[in-house]
Every structure is written in structure tokens, then in C-alpha cells.
Chain A
Amino acid sequence: MHDPRSAAAAAAVMLPFEGPRGPRPRKALSTRNIFIYGTLLLFAFYYLLPLYVMIVTSLKGMPEIRMGNIFSPPVEITFEPWVKAWSEVCTGLNCDGLSRGFWNSVRITVPSVILSIAIASVNGYALANWRFKGADAFFTILIFGAFIPYQVMLYPLVIILREMGLYGTLWGLVLVHSIFGMPILTLLFRNYFTSLPEELFKAARVDGAGFWGIYLKIMLPMSLPIFVVAIILQVTGIWNDFLFGVVYTKPDVYPMTVQLNNIVNSVQGVKEYNVNMAATLLTGLVPLFVYFVSGKLFVRGIAAGAVKG
């Protein structure tokens, strides 16, 4: 009995040992790499530039802005524009700064997120596990509704809210956000609940659990990730909304985006670009925070909403 390994080695000896060995040589500066990283860096510059300009401008004093160019870093860093944007800047007769809009947005976003997710998760659960006759028809209308331009439904909703006595109030806007968040969220939850093993649902039914029992005791504990995705989706979406805010609320309860636009685009007075940029950054801070903290989940959220449709 010969040892095949030594035989192989013996025969292979006839082949030269010199010549290429190990990994292919790679040049760090190959044309391919230069193209790839060059293009990526170019685009990274395009995407980062506005953020950089915003930050730099918000830290400069007005004289410095008038003198220099917008790309140069501040010679003298000042936080005054931030303070002014937060608590002093005027919109109309109110001169208590963007903090008013911030707290309005908080008071709009929190209940909207809770209400819309509560409704949509139950809807999705009903559609996935307790389908009744006609449910799919409603669902189809709902999904179509996601693509209908909001403009078509703006005025009818004004009438509905006025009839309910909610027009111009925070709660009216909360209701509007819950309505327009419903298609995408319902789809999200329906798809998620459908992907859970059906045996689980059947076993619970055999054990005698009912509609709400299964939802609360079985489905909810298993769906933490999808709730997080939904929360990310809704917090950024509602915080960033402008159209509904401007249509369905009054100046006193304007959300942050609307107030920001009114501050920056007001025609009165001297333009204070540093305060404007500080205000803009402040408004973008919440969604940016959500984005950087949630990382991959954010991507998953938008992909879940988009691709699965």
C-alpha cells in the first residue's frame, strides 16, 4: 500500500516550484480601484457637502459669513445662532424660537406613532391570520391609496375633520398621520405576520385562544423587530412631514418643519443665515439621530416598505 499523499507530492515535484504562488498580486492603485474609490469619494463629497456647510455656517457670526465663503471653517466659533434659533427667533407674533415647533412636533409625533402602529399592527394581524370575506378588497383599496396623490384627499379630509371638530388641532393631525401611515404599515405588519409559522397560530387556536389573546400573547412578543422598524419609519416620516402640518394645523400648533420654513423664508427683516442654518440643523437632528442609531434597521424599514410591495 503506497501512501497517496507522498505519491502526489512526488509527482508534483516534477513541476517547477518557482513561479506564481499564493494570492494574486494586487496593486493598491489599480485602475479599477482608482475608478471605484474615486467615484465613491466624489459622490461622498456631494452628499456630505451640504451637511458640512450647514454645520459650519451655523457656528459663524454674521459678519464672518458676509466676508468669507461658505466652505471655510469658522474663525471664531459661536453658539449664539443655535441659542437664537432655539429660543428667540420670531415667526409672526411669536418670538419664542423654534422650541415651540419642536415641542409641537413631539406632541404630534408621539401619539401619531403609537396610534398608527397600534391600528396597523392589528389590521395586519387580522389580514394575515383572520381573513374575512372582503378583507382583501379593502386592503387593495388601501394599498392603491398609498399611491394616490395626497392632494386629491386633502380637502375631503378638511371637511371630515371640521365635522369632527378636530380641524386645526393637534389631534386632527394625529388622526391624519394615522390614516396616511396605514397603507404602508399595514402592509409591513401583514407581511411579517404572514411570514411567522402558521403552526404557531393553529396551536394557539387549538389551545382555545381567541383573536385578542393570540395577538397579545403570541404575536406581539414575537414581533419586536418589526415594531422597531415601524417606529423608525413613522418617527422619521411624521417628523419630516410638511404638507399635512401646514394644511391641518393652525400657527399655534405648527410642527417644526412648517415653523422652520416660515422662519427661513420670511421676507421681513435681515436674513440671518447662521440662525437659519442652526434652525435647519435643529429640525433635522431628530431624524438624523434616529438614522444613525438605528443603522441597518432603517435600511430594512425602507426596503421592507418598498420591495415587498
Chain B
Amino acid sequence: MAAEGRPNQLFRNLNSKIASIPMILTALVVFAGGTIWTVIYSFTDSKLLPRLNFVGLDQYERLWASSRWIISIQNILIYGVCSLVLSLLIGFLLAALLDQKIRFENTFRTIFLYPFALSFVVTGLVWQWVLNPEFGLQSVVRSLGWTSFTFDPLYNQEIVIFGILIAGLWQGTGLVMCLMLAGMRGIDEEIWKAAKIDGIPTWKTYVLIIIPMMRPVFITTLVLIASGIVRLYDLVVAQTSGGPGIASEVPAKYVYDSLFLRQNLGQGFAASTMMLLTVLVVLIPWAYLEFGGRRKNA
């Protein structure tokens, strides 16, 4: 066989290559190609249609001069930090409580997770209704006798982003809980036994032993939540449409509006490139830790 020469490299594993054509096309054309295309066109003055008339960093200067964009960034920062911290905290707390060999564990888990099955649009609309100042939570508390009670986040520019946060947490913490619970269940039971023999209180075991052991789960969850935060769009559109005024604008909405409503492609490309940049800042260190580290161990 070998004497007759190796078969042409291109035709080795041919079926596998043919089968992989969709993946290759998606990876190269859409993901890599599309990303590069957008980044390149973010340096042009494209308006209604994309055109290759380079204007340097003009689009970015205009972007950062836009109050709408600044508000979007502020919002996503507030939402992001709160959402990260709270969903990790609540998710971990709920998982730890469910991990206590309690009764009705399945019922509780089902209740905590079902919002995750719902779309952001549904989530946003429900909470828009619950937080409606005229009929919702505020009016109910007022009708109970506390007449000066005020809680109308969706109509108050100062706190509207927290109204969205409440809905976002409602939808997403179930997932975090689930991941945390899976992580906890993956921990060797004998560690718990050893800690009990050593007389470590339960909460201390969680904080000093279990959490450090769950580091990989935390990192994965963090990346997952973070990539979800950057994409925050449907929820805002459904719950507030960016209002009141432009108080609850977010970057993803800025991109969509620039591209498809305001015929300002260059701005959309620049804004989406900024989003990409943020994600890379998070993603590259993580990929390095996750995969670079693994290689070292292997």
C-alpha cells in the first residue's frame, strides 16, 4: 500500500469533510467573515447602504459623543454588575438550600426554573404588568393603607433599569441555581463527612471548602451570565421599549435601532464592534485560563 503512494490528502476522510461543510461555512463565512466585515465597515461612513468609504474613527467618536450610547453603557454596567452579583448569590443560596435533603425538592426546583423556559418578551410583558403603577404592585400596597408607597420603576428614569433587573433575575436565576446544584452534587460526599467529623459548621463548609471546590462551575456560570448580559435586548424592548425617554436604552438596542430603524449603518457597526470588544475582554482571559490551563495539566 505504502509503496503505491499515499492517497491524495484532500480525499482522505472525504465523507467527513463533506459532512462538515455546513460547519465550515458557518464558522468561516458567518462567524469569522461576518465579524470581520462588521469591524471593517465600522470605519466607514455607511448610512443607508454599506459602502467602503473609510473615515477612520469618526463613527466611534460620534458613538461616544451620543448621550443615548452613554446611557446604554451606564445601564448595561449597572444591570451587568447587579445581575452578576445577585444571580450568583441567589442562585447559590437557592442551590445550597435545595441541597439540604429537603422535602419537595423537585417542586421547588420546578418553580425556580420555569421562568427560564419563557422568552424575554413574555418575561418583560408580565413584569410590565406587575409593575404597572396604576394597577400593579404599587396600587395594591397603597390600597392596603400605605398610601404614600411609591414603587414605579418602569415610569421613573432614575430606577427603570432596576425594574428590568427584577424581571431579568426572575427569568435567569433558575438556570444559575441549576448549574450550582449540579456542581454541589458533583462534590465527593466524603468531603462533607470529613468536615462533619472535624466539626465545621455547614455554612463554613460551604464558604471555605465547597465554594473553592466549585471554582470551575462558578467560572462557567459567570461566562454564561456575562454573555447573556451583553445580549440584553428583547427584555428591554418588551418591558420598556427603552423608555421612559431613553432611560433604559442598552447597547444591543442601539445597534438594532441604528441598523434597521435609523438607517445609520456605520453607527450600528461601530456600536456592535464595541460590544464585541467587551466580550473579548471577558472571553480571552477565560479561554486562556480554561484551555491554556488544561493543556498544562495534561
Contacts and interface: CB of A to CB of B under 8 A. Distances in A.
Interface of A: 36-37, 39-40, 43-44, 46-51, 53-54, 57, 65-66, 69-71, 119, 122-123, 125-127, 130-133, 135, 138-139, 141-142, 144-145, 147-157, 159-160, 178-179, 182, 186, 210-212, 236, 239-243, 246-247, 257-258, 260-261, 264-265, 273, 276-277, 280, 283-284, 287-288, 290-292, 295, 298-299, 302-303, 306-307, 309
Contact of A44 (B39, B112, B136, B234): B112
Contacts, number: 264
B108 A40 contact: yes
A265 B129 CA distance: 11
Contact of B93 (A39, A53, A264): A39
Contacts of A147: 223, 227, 279, 283
B255 interface: yes
Nearest to B120: A242
A155 B129 contact: no
B63 interface: no
Contacts of B265: 155
B179 to A, nearest CB: 6
Contacts of A47: 111-112, 114-115, 170, 174
A288 B117 contact: yes
A160 B29 contact: yes
A190 to B, nearest CB: 10
Contact of A288 (B118, B127, B128): B118
A288 B114 contact: yes
B112 A43 contact: yes
A240 B120 contact: yes
Interface string B160-179: 00000000001000110011
Contacts of A70: 129-130, 132, 135-137, 139-140
B24 interface: yes
B170 A148 contact: no
A57 B121 CA distance: 18
B178 A302 contact: yes
B275 A138 contact: no
A156 B179 contact: no
A307 B26 contact: no
Nearest to A294: B117
Given A44-B108, A149-B231, 9 more contacts: A44-B111, A138-B24, A139-B27, A148-B31, A152-B38, A152-B275, A210-B15, A273-B129, A292-B110
Contact of A302 (B115, B126, B139, B175): B175
16 contacts: A44-B111, A70-B129, A139-B23, A145-B30, A145-B32, A147-B227, A148-B31, A150-B231, A151-B252, A152-B39, A152-B276, A178-B22, A242-B234, A265-B238, A273-B129, A283-B122
B23 A182 contact: yes
B35 A307 contact: no
B50 to A, nearest CB: 7
Interface string B183-210: 1000000000000000000000000000
B159 interface: no
A163 B187 CA distance: 52
A138 B22 CA distance: 11
Contact of A53 (B30, B90, B126, B238): B126
B16 interface: yes
B126 A179 contact: no
B24 A149 contact: no
B237 interface: yes
A266 to B, nearest CB: 11
B-side interface size class: 35 or more
B245 interface: no
B230 interface: yes
B34 interface: yes
A150 B231 CA distance: 8
A259 to B, nearest CB: 10
A261 B15 contact: no
Given A36-B100, A70-B135, A182-B22, A291 B117 contact: yes
Interface in B44-76: 50
B34 to A, nearest CB: 4
Contacts of B116: 302
Contacts of B179: 303, 306-307
B221 interface: yes
A153 B175 CA distance: 26
A277 B129 contact: yes
Contact of B38 (A153, A182, A309): A153
B31 A144 contact: yes
B19 A126 contact: yes
A155 B38 contact: yes
A288 B223 CA distance: 26
B276 A138 contact: no
B30 A69 contact: no
B120 A280 contact: no
A123 B119 contact: no
B130 A141 contact: no
Contacts of A49: 130
Given A123-B20, A273-B129, A154 B272 contact: yes
A281 to B, nearest CB: 8
A268 to B, nearest CB: 14
B23 A151 contact: no
A155 B119 contact: no
Contacts of A138: 20, 23-24, 27-28
B259 interface: yes
